[in-house]
Amino acid sequence: MAFKFNFSLFATLSVVVITSTFCHAAVNDNQKLLNSFEHVLDPLTRPLSQDDWQSVPDTDDPKVKAIAEFAVDAENNVMKTNAYKFLKVEDGKYKVDKNGITYSLYIVGAKFNELNEYTAVVYEYFKNHVRKLISFT
């Protein structure tokens, strides 16, 4: 009887020790995982500065063109005219924040068939890819 009691006690203590070891390791791993996410999220929580703007690497990229065309179309809708025509993206920059991307594009276009350069600022949300024209000058 004493042998069974000692074996049961030993088995129970072994399970407790092993379980606590794995649980402790799991907690430490989760903490390491949380710390690694803090490193990733840190740039998203700090205030943005002028230095966060990056050049658009390829102004002929279809997405960049689509954003510029959106800006021209949106300006035409605001002005209730079809005066602005998109020709090409001359240059651009963008910056990323926690909700989306702000594009500042330098567009060559025509207004009433006269060539002009415009600056369009467009914000694109990550969640649903909805675009919003911020300014067109």
Per-residue confidence in pLDDT tens, the chain, 137 aa: 554 556 665 666 565 555 555 544 444 444 444 444 444 444 444 554 545 899 999 999 999 999 999 999 999 999 998 889 999 999 999 999 999 999 999 999 999 889 999 999 999 999 998 999 999 99
User: Alpha-carbon torsion 67, 70, 76, 79, what sign?
Assistant: negative
pLDDT attached to residue 110: 93
pLDDT attached to residue 81: 87
With vertex at residue 113, the alpha carbon angle to CA 108 and CA 116, rounded to the nearest 5 degrees, is 30
pLDDT attached to residue 9: 56
pLDDT attached to residue 112: 85
Residue 75: what are its φ and ψ, rounded to 5°? -65, -40
pLDDT attached to residue 52: 85
